[in-house]
Structures are given as structure tokens and as C-alpha cells.
Amino acid sequence: MKQELHAWYAVYTKAKMERKVADLLTRKRLESYCPMNVVEKQWNDRRKYTEEPLFSSYVFVRIPENMMGLVRETEGIVNFVYWLGKPAVIHDADIDLIRRFLREHRTAGLEKIPVRQVHAEGAPGTQLLYYRGKSQEANRNKVRAVLSSLGYALVAAAPTHDLNVLKADYRYA
């Protein structure tokens, strides 16, 4: 009996339906991930922190290819995200990178940027910031980690003294 390979895919959801879609996929016993980010809301009289999806209108699902129909039937899903006529496969390393980055940084942002490779890690005695794969930079009090299969970089504030740039390799994808 051949075991089916599971891959991560991005699904495009209706506006403001990311959490509900992730919950519905979980109820169908499918592995899903909706990365949540802490966002500061400022009003005249107060400031409030809320959790919002990091990727607006996107949820990630890890399934074998033959389960795509079940996913498409889920309320709130518009369709899979396609690349070159096929559903775009998201690298496991990129999903792991998102999870690690959001654990280590309270607030993160997204940037659409060209890709170059840098490895960054914390200085001795500081919080470890280590991102394998394609990271763009770690300077100017910010750390960026590039998600190569998504074409985005995660960006977060980090004190410059906590970062050491180990290797820079300027390659554009």
C-alpha cells in the first residue's frame, strides 16, 4: 500500500474568514494553520492589542493531493492559490519558519521583497534568533526572514546588539 505524501498548500478565503476556515478544516480532521499576529490598535483615548491573521485571506492546509476536493467544499474557501497552473506547494521549512518567528517576536509584519540569503543568530547571552533558509537581513533593529515559497518576508523589531550576521549571499530568485 502506497502512503500518500502530504504537502502544505495555501487556500484563499473570503474576507475576514481565516479563523473560521481554519476551524472548519480542523473539524474535518485536516491539518491547517492560520498564523496569528498581535496588532496594536490606537484610539484617541486608549490602546488595545488584538490578534489578527498574519496573511489576510490566506490559510495553510497540509493534505495529500487527493483531498483537495474536500478542502474546496469548505465554507469560506474561494480556492487554492495557484502557481503556473497548479496549486502552489508551500515548503515545510517556510511553515516552520513562520511558527518559530511568531513565537520569538510578539509583533511581525509582512513585506514583498526580492530574495537574498543571510543566516542570523543571537549574540552570546541573548535570545537566540536563528533562521535557516533564506533570510534577508538582520540590522537596523529589525530581523527579516524570507519565506521563499510565498514571496514574502516576515519582519520584526530586534535590538541590533542581539544580532550577528553570519553569512550573506546575494541571490535573487
Domain count, the chain: 2
Output the pTM of the full model. 0.73
Residue 2 has pLDDT above 60, yes or no: no
Listed residues 67, 90, 113: the one ending a domain: 90
Of 159, 157, 136, the C-alpha closest to 146 is 136
Instruction: Determine, yes or no, domain membership for 1.
Output: no
Q: How would residue 7 be classed by pLDDT, with cut points 50, 70 and 90?
A: very high
| Gyration radius of the chain over CA positions | 18
Lowest mean pLDDT of 12-26, 84-98, 128-142, 159-173, name the range: 159-173
Residue 145 has pLDDT above 60, yes or no: yes
Give the range of the structural domain holding residue 114, as residue numbers without chain letter.
92-169
State the average pLDDT over residues 115-132: 37
More confident residue, 163 or 39: 39
* Distance between CA atoms of residues 93 and 132, nearest Å: 9
Question: How far is CA 70 from each of CA 23, 30, 35, 65, 130, rounded to the nearest angstrom?
Answer: 14, 10, 22, 10, 37
Q: Which long-range contacts (CB under 8 A, 24 or more apart) does 136-140 make?
A: 137/165, 138/163, 138/164, 138/165, 139/163, 139/165
Whether residues 118 and 140 fall in one domain: yes
State the average pLDDT over residues 132-156: 69
Average pLDDT, the chain: 77
Listed residues 90, 118, 145: the one ending a domain: 90
Whether residues 83 and 10 fall in one domain: yes
Residue 123 has pLDDT above 80, yes or no: no
Q: Are 38 and 104 in contact (CB under 8 A)?
A: no
State the average pLDDT over residues 55-68: 94
Give the per-residue pLDDT at 22.
96
Listed residues 35, 62, 90: the one ending a domain: 90
pLDDT tens digits for 69-98?
A: 999 999 999 999 988 888 989 999 999 999
Whether residues 67 and 96 fall in one domain: no
